[in-house]
Amino acid sequence: MYATSYHRASSVEDAVKLKSANEEGKYLSGGMTLIATMKQRLAAPSDLIDLRHIPVLRGISIDGRKVTIGAATPHADVAASRELAAICPAICKLAGHIGDPHVRHMGTIGGSIANNDPAADYPAGLLGLGATIVTDRRSIRADDFFTGLFDTALEEGEMVTSVTFEAPEKAGYAKFNNPASRFAMTGVFVAKTAGGVRVAVTGAGSSGVFRHPGFEQALASNWSADALGSVAVDASNLMSDMHANAEYRANLVKVMAKRAVISAG
Amino acid sequence: MGVEGIGARVTRKEDKRFLTGKGRYTDDMTVPGMKYACFVRSPYAHAKIGDIDATAAKAMPGVIDVLDGKQLQADGIGNLICGWMIHSKDGSPMKMGAWHPLAVDTVRYVGDAIAIVVADSSGEARDAAEAVVIDYEQLPVVTEAVAALASGAPQIHPEAPGNLIFDWQIGEPDAVDEAIAAAAHVTEIEILNNRLSPNPMEPRATLGIYDTAEDHYTCYTTSQNPHVARLVMSAFYNVAPENKLRVIAPDVGGGFGSKIYIYPEEIICLWASKKTGVPVKWTSDRTEAFLTDAHGRDHASKVKMAFDANNHITALKVDTIANLGAYMSLFSSAVPTYLYATLLSGQYTIPAIHANVRTVYTNTVPVDAYRGAGRPEATYLLERTIETAARELGVSPAELRRTNFIRSFPYQTPVIMNYDAGDYEASLNAAMQAADWAGFAARRSQSEARGKKRGIGMSCYIEACGIAPSAAVGSLGAGVGLWESAEVRVNAVGTIEVLTGSHSHGQGHETTFAQLVAGRLGVPIESISIVHGDTDKVQMGMGTYGSRSGAVGMSAVVKALDKVEAKAKKIAAHLMEASEEDIVIENGELKVAGTDKSVPWFQVALASYTAHNLPSGMEPGLKETAFYDPSNFTFPAGCYIAEVEIDPDTGETDIVQFVAADDFGNIINPMIVEGQVHGGIAQGIGQALLENVQYDANGQLLTASYMDYAMPRADDLPSFTLSHQNTPCPSNPLGIKGCGEAGAIGSPPALINAITDAIGHNKLTMPATPMKVWQALHAAH
Ligand SMILES: Cc1cc2nc3c(=O)[nH]c(=O)nc-3n(C[C@H](O)[C@H](O)[C@H](O)COP(=O)(O)OP(=O)(O)OC[C@H]3O[C@@H](n4cnc5c(N)ncnc54)[C@H](O)[C@@H]3O)c2cc1C
């Protein structure tokens, strides 16, 4: 790890100010990605601005069916929230299968979506739920937020403060683990929302998380795993790597989509 | 069996310190003035190196010095060697290329060390290492053994034309060819044995300390065999004469073979300590471990197995190409030859065997022994072949094995080994019963009703442990003898220290060796300490690998104990005015048999040291040393059965049961043996389903972290059903065969036989990842 200066931000304003004062600095949330990258000397931020001690960033609040999750809320809190499980168990299940217990107690939803790893779970959840990402300066629809591999709509210095969504009528998530990393080799989130059926796929797309319109249409007319049987999955936009080629991923996309529908009930 | 003696489930004495974080590993060692090393390593798999410019690096904060291979060479430090000479079938010696501890003009794999930076902190050493500027002229790269033998392949060492290190054979080629020509059936199969990274929990580390006043070196290191390290470092690498070099391997967190070898870092840190005048410590990080720890396996073989009309095997023909990586590691030549082809008879009567083995240089990390070392390769090949033959012949796999089992001992195979004892049918029967083999068909239909594919597979392995005797291995090319030594030191108050040349890095010697002594003398196990891992304390030793510590190391303790007991009996007889022949040792006392006369153990010990009243002419003291050289290898064997259920939608394999029935000879501590078997099977399952080292075409290691290298985790594994059918080993005093590697040896073929049974054809290589199984299912449709 290269030398760096640590700052503990006390408020969102404080954090944003610290960030703008240190151009080569980075926000630090759970550190599960950033610290590991720094240890490998692949990142060398001059400053780390720690967000985990800003009270408003941490916690889950529920107002009717409207859910708000603070950016610095660890995966374990989302997994364990009974209030959230009562209205959207699929997102709790998703969070409960990220990494291992250490990762779930440190890693946060804000860090995960800001990082937008193409094999991460939350991007599928938020895109599938049609969530809104709230930052220090604006609100961004999930459809506009995840722009590519490790790429998001966040501007320089922009900070995620929370994510919000309406609890869906139904939702389900099915993940096929990469045998080594246990990130999603393919993960599919399906949801029946007020705005219609949404299906989001992570771990498979060569430009990151994506929606699958074919599945969405099929499920809109017939919410059942069987409805997906005849829908084609185009392998040409899927990733091939040493763990899984595009053809196998295309198969997993369909199998996981069916399982997600079954788990949604 | 006493509560603490042989056969008792004594909990491990060493676990308290390990489980409370109080173990003392090499990286925990600190000495005054100690500094930190970082190695500058090649980012290319094959390149000429020109100028090494360390000017900027040397000027960086905290940097003490940057040293390179030319300086090392100028100081007379020798090249690394392979310690087992193999001759090709044309009589020529193996073609060993030079392995400079720090590369001098060419780098041959990604991670090859070029220079060492010594600095005040490891961070500063790393920063400076990045600032060393090296001129590289990249050369073409080859990573696969078969490709490296092809004409026009990049030439890796000038000493080995065509990258061929040796072309060796064993057995009778003509007899085999005749038998194949006359056979009623010949099974042909190609076998790939995947390449593995050993991944001990503790990465390698070393601390080199040069003492100017004494002109003496101390080397703390993560070694399985500190005495061998000292011997090799002084005899071949000219680091220092043995009396000026102390090697200490303190607590070591696993080795699996990868810590047998003497690596460049140990040598360089000792040398750098003298050059810089400060103690130098280096600790590998995990990626460095993937890049530089010797890998295991990586064989490609073609096999023919011939049968007569009664399904008796008449011949086996094997042609193997083994990848040895960029340099010949310490025992790399022995693994694919005498530790592999000598086991190709398996548990079967095979009248004629011929194996040809070519070993090859490639631009990859050196390959050497890894848990099982040669025997997993032999077992996988043989057990996949016989399973395939059973399918082709339309007989049950158990029947075909039974038809061919060796049933009388000793049995001389056509490939050197002389099996001394075993009962292969007993393990087969026990395993089949435990697995409810007979009920498999019903379980398969239940799976099919749920849309799943179910398969069952077995593997009947034999292996050879306690590699010996020294004269025999010497005649086969070994550079060292393979005996073991022990000293039993009874203190004046009767407590006991056992100094052993075996080295424990997870095996639990502090418990099992103490059990042996406690059982023999009837003294409390707490009164016995095991001392190992320090060349200044322990007389000499060959270390721990090849499941040899029980069979060889403990046998040496037995021999030393025999001497101690004999002397103690003389003293007791003298004290009690009885005849030496009448003295028995029981429950911590020396008794005159058939009387109520006795003296406690401690009193005899005390008498030996006060020396006030010893038999006339007897030397004081109670301390004896023994060197034990076994008369033969030992031959653990057994039968493993795996049953799997495959999800045809994803290709995922669920191991629904795993049964292991082993013959380890006599067992010292069943709990520790079970732990060894569990760990071994976990590694075997890792090889069969998960683990695979992969390089890209440029020789970059793709699997250089756990993000991409799939280590087995607890939830990848089923519960194991274990049993033992023990036939005592006749060739050592304890009747022990060894259990450290069996699990890793026996399990991969059982799993692949089960999976190929489920998918209905044989086109599958390890690791059987979900994608590969899915593709195999898909191809079958
Ligand atoms: C062993 C292991 C296994 C894992 N397995 C999985 C898995 O199965 N599935 C999965 O989805 N993930 C997995 N992860 C990743 C994990 O979920 C991380 O928590 C996540 O990727 C990053 O979150 P973090 O809070 O740790 O962010 P950090 O590492 O602190 O930050 C990540 C990046 O986001 C930026 N950032 C952080 N917070 C904000 C913010 N509020 N606004 C703007 N930018 C911000 C940082 O500057 C940095 O660039 C795993 C990680 C590990 C170490």
Q: Per-residue DSSP letters for B349-398?
A: --SEEEEEEEEEE-SS--B---TTTTHHHHHHHHHHHHHHHHHHHTS-HH
Q: How far is the CA of B639 from the centre of ligand 1 (A)?
A: 46
Domains and CATH numbers, chain A: 1-50 (3.30.43.10), 170-264 (3.30.390.50)
Q: Kindly state the average pLDDT of the residues A113-136.
A: 98
Pocket test for ligand 1, best of A115, A116, A158 (most atoms within 8 A of CB): A115
Say which CATH architecture domain B31-139+206-282 belongs to: Alpha-Beta Complex (3.90)
**Beta carbon pairs, A and B, within 8 Å:** 43
CB contacts of B651 in chain A (<8 Å) are 248
User: What is the spatial distance between Cα A59 and Cα A44, in angstroms, rounded to a whole number?
Assistant: 30
CB contact under 8 A, A180 and B287: no
Give the per-residue pLDDT at B387: 98
Residue B708 C-alpha, separation from nearest chain A C-alpha, in angstroms = 5
Q: If DSSP codes are grouped into helix, strand and coil, which group holds residue B318?
A: strand
User: β-strand A66-70 against A160-166: which pairing, if any?
Assistant: antiparallel
- What is the share, in percent, of chain A residues with pLDDT greater than 90? 98
CB contact under 8 A, B774 and A248: yes
Chosen for mutation from B693, B771, B772, B774 (greatest number of chain A CBs closer than 10 Å) is B771
One-letter amino acid of B441: A
Give the per-residue pLDDT at B779: 83
Residue A54 C-alpha, separation from nearest chain B C-alpha, in angstroms = 31
Classify residue B201 as exposed, middle or buried by CB count within 10 Å of its CB (0-12, 13-18, 19+).
exposed
Phi/psi for B693 (5° steps) reads -80, 130
CB contact under 8 A, A251 and B774: yes
Q: How far is the CA of A31 from the centre of ligand 1 (A)?
A: 6
Give the per-residue pLDDT at B728: 95
Identical fold at B31-139+206-282 and B299-467+632-780?
A: no
Blockwise average pLDDT, block size 10, chain B, 781 residues? 83 96 97 98 98 98 98 97 97 98 98 98 96 98 98 98 98 98 98 98 98 97 97 94 97 96 97 98 97 98 98 98 98 97 98 98 98 97 98 98 97 96 97 98 98 98 92 90 95 97 95 96 96 96 93 96 98 97 96 96 97 97 96 96 98 98 97 97 98 98 97 96 96 94 98 98 96 91 49
CB contact under 8 A, B703 and A242: yes
CB contacts of A180 in chain B (<8 Å) are 690, 703, 706-711
ipTM at complex level: 0.96
Which CATH number among 3.40.50.12280, 3.30.365.10, 3.40.50.300, 3.30.230.10 corresponds to the domain B299-467+632-780?
3.30.365.10
CB contacts of B649 in chain A (<8 Å) are 251, 255
Residue A179 C-alpha, separation from nearest chain B C-alpha, in angstroms = 6
CB contact under 8 A, B771 and A3: no
Q: How far is the CA of A143 from the centre of ligand 1 (A)?
A: 20
Phi/psi for B420 (5° steps) reads -95, -30
Eight-state DSSP code of residue B552 = I
User: What is the spatial distance between Cα B277 and Cα B32, in angstroms, rounded to a whole number?
Assistant: 12
Q: Which helix (H) or strand (E) holds A166?
A: strand A160-166
Nearest to A179 among B287, B649, B769 (CB): B769
Interface of A with B (CB under 8 A): 1-3, 40-41, 176, 179-181, 242-245, 248, 251-252, 255
Sign of the alpha-carbon dihedral angle for B83, B87, B93, B99: negative
Classify residue B175 as exposed, middle or buried by CB count within 10 Å of its CB (0-12, 13-18, 19+).
middle
CB contacts of B650 in chain A (<8 Å) are 176, 251-252, 255
User: What is the spatial distance between Cα B675 and Cα B248, in angstroms, rounded to a whole number?
Assistant: 27
Q: Which residues line ligand 1 (CB under 6 A)?
A: A 26-34, 36, 51, 71, 98-99, 103, 106-108, 110-112, 114-115, 117, 120-122, 154, 159-160, 182-183
Q: Which atom of ligand 1 is nearest to the CA of A120?
A: 11
CB contacts of A181 in chain B (<8 Å) are 706-708
Q: Which helix (H) or strand (E) holds B501?
A: none
Count CB-CB contacts under 10 A for residue B730: 14
Band the pLDDT of A1: cuts 50, 70, 90: confident
Taking CA–CA distances from B130, the nearest residue in chain A reads A41
Pocket test for ligand 1, best of A4, A11, A103 (most atoms within 8 A of CB): A103
- pTM for this predicted structure: 0.96
Give the per-residue pLDDT at A94: 98
For residue B413, what are its two tokens? 């195979």
CB contacts of B775 in chain A (<8 Å) are 248
Helix runs in chain A, H state only: 12-21, 34-39, 75-80, 82-87, 89-96, 101-106, 109-115, 122-129, 142-145, 213-221, 246-264
By residue count, chain B amounts to 781
Category of B549 on φ-ψ map: left (φ > 0), alpha (ψ -120 to 50) or beta: alpha
Q: What is the DSSP string of B708-774?
A: TS----GGGS--EEEEE-----TTSTT-B---SSHHHHHHHHHHHHHHHHHHTS----SS--HHHHH
For residue B195, what are its two tokens? 């390449």
Nearest to B694 among A1, A242, A248 (CB): A242
Helix runs in B548-707, H state only: 555-576, 601-610, 670-685
CB contact under 8 A, B771 and A1: no
For residue B631, what are its two tokens? 């008369």
Residue B636 C-alpha, separation from nearest chain A C-alpha, in angstroms = 32
Give the per-residue pLDDT at B780: 59
- What is the share, in percent, of chain A residues with pLDDT greater than 70? 100
The fold of the B483-628 domain, in CATH, is: Aldehyde Oxidoreductase; domain 4 (3.30.365)
Pocket test for ligand 1, best of A1, A39, A93, A98 (most atoms within 8 A of CB): A98
How is chain B split into domains, by residue range? Answer: 31-139+206-282, 299-467+632-780, 483-628
For residue B154, cis peptide bond before it (omega within 30 degrees of 0)? no
Q: Which helix (H) or strand (E) holds B54?
A: none
User: What is the spatial distance between Cα B638 and Cα B312, in angstroms, rounded to a whole number?
Assistant: 21
